[in-house]
A and B are shown apart, each in its own frame.
Chain A
Amino acid sequence: MATGTDTSSLAAFVRERPFGIALAVLVAVLFVDLFRKLGAGGITVADLAGFLKDGTVLGLSLGLAGIGLAMTYSILNFANFAHGDYITIGGVAGWIATFLVSGLGSAELESLALLTASSRTLGVSVATAPVAIVVGLLVAVVLTAAMALLIDRLVFRPMRGQRGISLLIASVGVALAVRYLLVFTLQSGPRGLTAGPATPSWDLAVGSGTVTVTAHELTLAALAVALMLGTHVLLRYTTFGTAMRAMADNEDLAQVSGIPTERVIRTTWLLGAGLTGAAGFLIALERGALTTSFGWQLLLLVFAAVILGGIGSVYGAMVGGLVIGLASRLSLVWLPESFIIVAAFVVMIVILLVRPEGLLGGVTTV
């Protein structure tokens, strides 16, 4: 069909990277425009600082929620579409525990267990009910991990070795079943969790305005960073971490060299889902509310973070999360609010086209 003459290697270089070159130009233009806007007073420094703070908080949420996904993605080689609902399970289970601990005796058991009790009356915050929050966090971790193991046993384990697409489809089934069982038991509709007035917050002066930081944002940020560092150390310096990396590289080889693959898979689910549960709990804490589908709504953003960072990399998930979080909030400089998520997805698609191997080069750094 094509009978044209062959092109030179320079043209080939440009042709192979049309997206990359276009992207670099676009980012440069946006940066120039940002400074122009700041100079012309289109947005204030405080606005920008607010966007950056919100973006960082969202980014850390996504990064934390992404570690578990990155781990199972690299070990089991499939995109787990039920991951979002694991986040929801963590949030729901943890917050039921927190409600029970903080409200037992003062409110009806049923309203606590179904999260329908008034958050205003309960007045939960890290300052007023730290014990309840810690208990909730632990319950979130334990229950999410247990559920992930159960689902692995029922659904994914019988399918070991099958193509990634088959597992992906099965995970869509799991996602639907889990989410709508939650709807069946809890009924849909948003639940308020924390009490705004009881939550400490600080107004920081930035330029001519202020940026408000709440204690819950700080809690999420601090715990996210701590958990990510902890996971990194764990995976870097333990036998489990070595075994996991070996399996991510080449499962057959790992199996031949005597690594108990099933046990590594189990530990991966345990650890990954535990972190996911914690992420669900903390995200709900920071937002002060949850729905039965909040994890599902985060899923694509979490995927974006994980893919961006290069699948299988904990730091990558963190970096990817921050890129996605900041990109979506900074988009407010140019776009109306209804495009926050759109902007994040566009960033993901563009980066996938430019660097399908992820920002950190697809090296499993762990």
Chain B
Amino acid sequence: MTTPSTDTDEAATSRPAAATEDGTTGAPLLQVRNLRKSFGGITAVDGATFDVDRGTITGLIGPNGAGKSTTFDLVTGVQTPDSGQVIFDGTDTTGWRPHRSANRGLVRTFQIARELDEMTVLENAMLAPRGQLGEQLWRAVLPGVRDEVVKQEERLREQAWETLEFLELDHLAEEYAGGLSGGQRKLLELARVLMLEPEMILLDEPLAGVNPTLETKLLERLHALRDDGYTFLLVEHDMDVIMNHCEPVIVLHQGSVLVEGPPEQVKSDDRVLEAYLGEDV
């Protein structure tokens, strides 16, 4: 895939920097420090601390209730942590509301694909890009000024088509998102976050409900995007996917990080086995 052309200076400067040849990447893109969140008496995330390096597909696994989804919520601002820090690309983004994190280049998808049912696939894709002039009311309306908006919309439309092609959704462009299958919804969700041209994407079970053929394709795309400089943090239940596609792998257990390392190391770690033995693997 060719990287979609950028529209604004802001987006241009925030383009992901490709990983260096030897795999060392300088400062981590995302630093999570001592995150804590409890609901009533239950502590969902209990001092989670980990890094995500640039240009990686980092896997985040853990038994049910380990706090993976809550961690995602805390990192992207859907929920506010009780304590701890989230540092993204050198900026402390702790407690930022989701839209602010997203505009900074940190976006997430949802475990259950949340499509905007009564919008078409193309509208869904065109919603996401940052820096849209026409999101300002006066620009959307005033004659003259509006011409700029129309020009930008034409560019975005082209970009949306390219992204949909890349994910093989282009034949569905004019369908309502509500009519898509589960797998197609997952793809659309990915298309949407790609249109935002973020630096880092948090994927919450992107393969759940996706058929094997599509799954292979989706994983290929992820690698292609990683090679383009995107960084991924991936929550997934399918161990094969994690072990074959993620590097490194972080294991959460009872709200904190149990093990972190390359897949082979994680696989052979007794503590991980123990944690998972608490339930059926």
Touch test A–B (CB under 8 Å) = yes
Chain A residues whose CB sits within 8 angstroms of the CB of B220 once the complex forms = none
- B72-131 residues at the A interface, CB under 8 angstroms: 92-96, 100, 103
Minimum CB–CB distance from B255 to chain A (whole Å) comes to 20
A6 touches B92 (CB 8 A): yes
A6 touches B95 (CB 8 A): yes
Minimum CB–CB distance from A241 to chain B (whole Å) comes to 25
What residue of chain A has the Cβ atom nearest to residue B99's Cβ?
Answer: A1
Chain A 16-60, CB-CB to B under 8 Å as 1, else 0, gives: 000000000000000000000000000000000000000000000
A6 touches B103 (CB 8 A): no
Interface size on B, residues (CB 8 A): 7
A205 CB–B CB distance under 8 Å: no
What residue of chain B has the Cβ atom nearest to residue A16's Cβ?
Answer: B80
A154 CB–B CB distance under 8 Å: no
B103 touches A1 (CB 8 A): yes
Q: Once bound together, how far apart are the Cα atoms of A2 and B96, in whole Å? A: 10
What residue of chain B has the Cβ atom nearest to residue A12's Cβ?
Answer: B95
Q: Once bound together, how far apart are the Cα atoms of A57 and B123, in whole Å? A: 56
Chain B residues whose CB sits within 8 angstroms of the CB of A2 once the complex forms = 100
What residue of chain B has the Cβ atom nearest to residue A1's Cβ?
Answer: B103
Chain B residues whose CB sits within 8 angstroms of the CB of A1 once the complex forms = 103
Minimum CB–CB distance from B247 to chain A (whole Å) comes to 32
Chain A residues whose CB sits within 8 angstroms of the CB of B93 once the complex forms = 6
Q: Once bound together, how far apart are the Cα atoms of A12 and B95, in whole Å? A: 10
What residue of chain B has the Cβ atom nearest to residue A6's Cβ?
Answer: B92
Chain B residues whose CB sits within 8 angstroms of the CB of A6 once the complex forms = 92-96
Q: Once bound together, how far apart are the Cα atoms of A6 and B100, in whole Å? A: 12
Tally A-B pairs: CB < 8 A.
8
What residue of chain A has the Cβ atom nearest to residue B104's Cβ?
Answer: A3
Chain A residues whose CB sits within 8 angstroms of the CB of B95 once the complex forms = 6, 12
What residue of chain A has the Cβ atom nearest to residue B92's Cβ?
Answer: A6
Minimum CB–CB distance from B139 to chain A (whole Å) comes to 14
Minimum CB–CB distance from B21 to chain A (whole Å) comes to 34
Chain B residues whose CB sits within 8 angstroms of the CB of A12 once the complex forms = 95
Q: Once bound together, how far apart are the Cα atoms of A12 and B94, in whole Å? A: 12
What residue of chain A has the Cβ atom nearest to residue B82's Cβ?
Answer: A9
Q: Once bound together, how far apart are the Cα atoms of A12 and B103, in whole Å? A: 21
Q: Once bound together, how far apart are the Cα atoms of A12 and B82, in whole Å? A: 12
Q: Once bound together, how far apart are the Cα atoms of A151 and B165, in whole Å? A: 53
Minimum CB–CB distance from A298 to chain B (whole Å) comes to 37
What residue of chain B has the Cβ atom nearest to residue A7's Cβ?
Answer: B95
Minimum CB–CB distance from B37 to chain A (whole Å) comes to 14
Chain A residues whose CB sits within 8 angstroms of the CB of B94 once the complex forms = 6
Q: Once bound together, how far apart are the Cα atoms of A157 and B265, in whole Å? A: 58
Q: Once bound together, how far apart are the Cα atoms of A6 and B96, in whole Å? A: 8
Q: Once bound together, how far apart are the Cα atoms of A300 and B90, in whole Å? A: 51
Minimum CB–CB distance from B87 to chain A (whole Å) comes to 11
Chain A residues whose CB sits within 8 angstroms of the CB of B103 once the complex forms = 1
Chain A residues whose CB sits within 8 angstroms of the CB of B100 once the complex forms = 2
Minimum CB–CB distance from B268 to chain A (whole Å) comes to 41
Chain A residues whose CB sits within 8 angstroms of the CB of B92 once the complex forms = 6
Chain A 212-226, CB-CB to B under 8 Å as 1, else 0, gives: 000000000000000
Minimum CB–CB distance from B35 to chain A (whole Å) comes to 14
What residue of chain B has the Cβ atom nearest to residue A2's Cβ?
Answer: B100
Chain A residues whose CB sits within 8 angstroms of the CB of B96 once the complex forms = 6
Minimum CB–CB distance from A42 to chain B (whole Å) comes to 46
Q: Once bound together, how far apart are the Cα atoms of A313 and B100, in whole Å? A: 38
Q: Once bound together, how far apart are the Cα atoms of A1 and B103, in whole Å? A: 8
Q: Once bound together, how far apart are the Cα atoms of A12 and B93, in whole Å? A: 14
Minimum CB–CB distance from A4 to chain B (whole Å) comes to 10
Q: Once bound together, how far apart are the Cα atoms of A254 and B225, in whole Å? A: 46
What residue of chain A has the Cβ atom nearest to residue B96's Cβ?
Answer: A6
Q: Once bound together, how far apart are the Cα atoms of A12 and B100, in whole Å? A: 16
What residue of chain B has the Cβ atom nearest to residue A5's Cβ?
Answer: B92
Minimum CB–CB distance from B13 to chain A (whole Å) comes to 14
Minimum CB–CB distance from B183 to chain A (whole Å) comes to 26
Q: Once bound together, how far apart are the Cα atoms of A76 and B100, in whole Å? A: 37
Q: Once bound together, how far apart are the Cα atoms of A6 and B93, in whole Å? A: 8
Q: Once bound together, how far apart are the Cα atoms of A6 and B103, in whole Å? A: 15
Q: Once bound together, how far apart are the Cα atoms of A147 and B92, in whole Å? A: 60
What residue of chain A has the Cβ atom nearest to residue B83's Cβ?
Answer: A9
Q: Once bound together, how far apart are the Cα atoms of A240 and B270, in whole Å? A: 51
Q: Once bound together, how far apart are the Cα atoms of A288 and B236, in whole Å? A: 68
Q: Once bound together, how far apart are the Cα atoms of A2 and B99, in whole Å? A: 10
Q: Once bound together, how far apart are the Cα atoms of A1 and B96, in whole Å? A: 12
Q: Once bound together, how far apart are the Cα atoms of A54 and B92, in whole Å? A: 56
Q: Once bound together, how far apart are the Cα atoms of A2 and B93, in whole Å? A: 12
What residue of chain A has the Cβ atom nearest to residue B80's Cβ?
Answer: A12
Q: Once bound together, how far apart are the Cα atoms of A62 and B96, in whole Å? A: 42
Q: Once bound together, how far apart are the Cα atoms of A6 and B97, in whole Å? A: 11
Q: Once bound together, how far apart are the Cα atoms of A1 and B101, in whole Å? A: 11
Minimum CB–CB distance from B113 to chain A (whole Å) comes to 20
Minimum CB–CB distance from B129 to chain A (whole Å) comes to 15
What residue of chain A has the Cβ atom nearest to residue B100's Cβ?
Answer: A2
Instruction: List 8 A-B residue pairs with CB atoms under 8 Å apart, sorted by A's residue number.
Output: A1-B103, A2-B100, A6-B92, A6-B93, A6-B94, A6-B95, A6-B96, A12-B95
Q: Which 4 A-B pairs have the closest CB atoms?
A: A6-B92, A2-B100, A6-B95, A6-B94
The chain A residues found within 8 Å of chain B, CB to CB, are 1-2, 6, 12
Excluding A2-B100, A6-B94, 6 further A-B contacts by CB distance (< 8 Å) are A1-B103, A6-B92, A6-B93, A6-B95, A6-B96, A12-B95
